[in-house]
Amino acid sequence: MSENVGRQNTPTSVSTPLIFPPNPPSKRPNSRFLTFANVALALLSLVVAVLIVVAQSWEPMTVTPQDPIARLRPFSSPFRIDNTGYVPLWVEHVYCYVDNVHWNSVTMKRILERSLDWEQFPLQRNESKTILCNVLDAPTPPEQADIVIGVDYRLVPFLPWTLRKLVRFTGAYADQWQWLRQPIGPIESETNRAVDRLADTGRSRFAFKGGGFQERSDAQHK
């Protein structure tokens, strides 16, 4: 007996490929622009770093005491600030800081003085500015005096970095009073704190009266 075996067709599953839309072109920043910006920023940082190093190692300005206007009054000696560098400077502030003065039985410490005439002015090459630190008006010279002339300035007016120069002088009396330059080191941090405190007060003028700092008017300042 023969058997007829019926063949069953097994259905075959057909997979339909999924169609994805093409990826939109990515909006990448212009690599040439980024390269140029990075190079420009690096060059600017390098120039600023060089200017700061040069300013720290080379003195673009000097501060020199002049002969006193009144022989027995050392604080009548003007101080001349000279631009001895190769580029114009922009001076923001000039300060006269007295660390200590001993006169007879009077001892005065930490006196700060500033003037509107000493603020915000250009100092061209080979140009000078003269200031007068008249913080003590006495008929005879003091036994001891220690002062600092401080100058806040910029090498280029539009740069945000301000440099500070501190020049210290101590007094000595021979035939006449002389201001002798001394290292700033021992009183540098104290001087910076005092100057910063004054800068925060705006443009007021201060003098030492009655054992402390007191603001004085323009009439008193003259």
pLDDT score, position 199: 66
pLDDT digits (tens, 9 = 90+) for 84-120: 988 889 999 999 999 999 888 888 888 888 888 999 9
* pLDDT at residue 192 tops 60: yes
Burial of 207 (0-12, 13-18, 19+ CB in 10 A): middle
3-state class of 166 per DSSP? strand
Instruction: Give the chain's domains with CATH numbers.
Output: 60-221 (2.60.40)
Residue 85: CA atoms inside 13 Å, Cβ hemisphere, count?
Answer: 22
Choice among 90-94, 119-123, 128-132, 193-197 with the minimum mean pLDDT: 193-197
Distance between CA atoms of residues 194 and 200, nearest Å: 10
Q: Among 98, 82, 74, 90, which Cα is nearest to 195's? A: 98
